[in-house]
Amino acid sequence: MTMKKISVICLFLLSLFLSSCFEVVEDMKVDRDGSGSMTLTVNLSQSRTKLAAIMMMDTINGHKVPERQDIQQEIDKLVTRLNSTPGISNAKGNIDFTSFIAVISFSFRDVANVNRAISNIMDQYKVKGMSAANYSYNEAEGRFSRVYKNTGDVREQYNKLRDRDKEIFSSAMYISIFRFENTITDYSNKLSRVARNQLAIMQRCSVKDLINGKTDISNQIQLSK
């Protein structure tokens, strides 16, 4: 009985015992002229013990476990792709394999450029249907909007997952923050909350509800002139 066998047993037990949990944070800052920056964070820190165990295994639930360098390479590819997207600049990507937090950030010349950038991210990670989100900003009227339409593709893909894979999404959270230079005077999505200084608006929901179309994250935000 080698040490390797022992550690494989321990890792397998860990992957069985530990629950999964993660949060996705979308933080977008829009300047008056429609330019701005965006940071997307996937924080898997709550599952780090399990992930550390999984990362040392070859497969989990029948899926191949990627190597660290493979994950890093994917992020590097995404950054390159984003930097070559029209209107997108200063793209950066980083993953912390100790806390298991991945961060992608970039600047945009116009809010409309973000649509293509998000579409590239979804393509890179082979997520279908999420590209239905559309960001727009009318500088003259001071109106920002995000229109999200759940096409059912994501739900369909989710439903195809095995129960033990679905469990990963059971307590995952999605947090969206939009920040502006002007104050927010009105907004259409009443599930979101405006910050005390009225310069930011946040919405929290479960990833599972987002997938199943139970939560709407579309929002029309009117800014002061």
Partner 1 sequence: MKRALQLVTLLLAGYTGMAQDLAYKIPEKARMVASFKAEQLFRLYPAAEFDTSAMGRELLEKISRKGPADFKSIEDLGLDLKGTIYYYSQHTDSINYDCVLIPIKDAGKVEKLFTEDERAAFTRQNGVTALQNAVNKPLVAWNNEILVVTYGTLNKYFLEDSTNAARYGISKADDYGYDNVTDPVIYTDSAIAIADSAAYYADSAATAAEPLTDIADTATQPPAMEEMPMAVVDSFATVSVEGAENDAAPPVAEDADVPPPPVVESYYFDPNKEKRDSLTKAWVQVYTTGIFNKPAGSSSILANPDFIKRSDKNAIASFWLDNLNSTYAGFLPYYYMRYGSLFQGYGSINARMYMNNDNMRITGELGLDDAKTASYKKIYNRKLNKKFLKYINSDSLIGFMSYAFDTKAYLDEIPRMLNGIYGMYKDETEIGADLFSLLLDEEAVAKVAKGDALFVLSNVSAKEVSYHTYAYDENYEYKDTVKTKTETLPDFLFMFSSEDARLFVKLLEYGIKKGKVTFAHNIYSITSSRKNPFNLHILFKDGIVFLGTSLTDMEQISTDTYRGNLSRQHEELLMKNNMTLYFNPNHLGNKLFEGEFRDLGAIADNLKGMGDVYIKSAGVKDNSVSFDLVSEVPKDKGNALKYFIALMQDISKLK
Name the site residues for partner 1 (rule: CB under 8 A): 1, 6, 9-11, 13-14, 17-19, 23, 25, 43, 45-46, 48-49, 52-53, 56, 97-99, 101, 163, 175, 177, 179, 195-197, 199-202
Q: How far is the CB of 86 from partner 1 (least distance, A)?
A: 30
Nearer to partner 1 (CB atom), residue 101 or residue 111: 101
Alpha helices, DSSP H only, in the chain?
A: 3-17, 48-55, 68-83, 111-124, 153-160, 163-166, 207-212
Least separation in angstroms between CB 132 and partner 1: 25
- Tokens read off for 84: 């070559």
CB of 51 to partner 1, least distance (A): 9
**SS3 helix, strand, coil % of the chain, rounded to 5?**
35, 30, 30
Minimal distance in Å, beta carbon 187 to partner 1?
14
Nearer to partner 1, 13 or 127 (CB): 13
To the nearest whole angstrom, how small is the minimum distance from the Cβ of residue 98 to partner 1? Answer: 5
Q: Between residues 85 and 203, which has the closer beta carbon with respect to partner 1? A: 203
Rounded to 5°, the CA angle 166-164-99 comes to 75
The alpha helices in 33-187, defined as continuous H runs, are 48-55, 68-83, 111-124, 153-160, 163-166
Task: Considering the complex, state which of residue 12 and residue 213 has its C-beta at the smaller distance from partner 1.
Answer: 12
DSSP-derived 3-state class of residue 190: coil
Helix (H) or strand (E) holding 180: strand 173-180
Closer to partner 1 by CB, 54 or 117: give it: 54
Min. distance of Cβ 164 from partner 1 in angstroms? 9
Gap between the Cα atoms of 77 and 75, Å rounded: 5
How far apart are the C-alpha atoms of 33 and 14, rounded to whole Å?
50
- The secondary structure element, H or E, covering residue 60 is strand 59-60
Nearer to partner 1, 53 or 82 (CB): 53
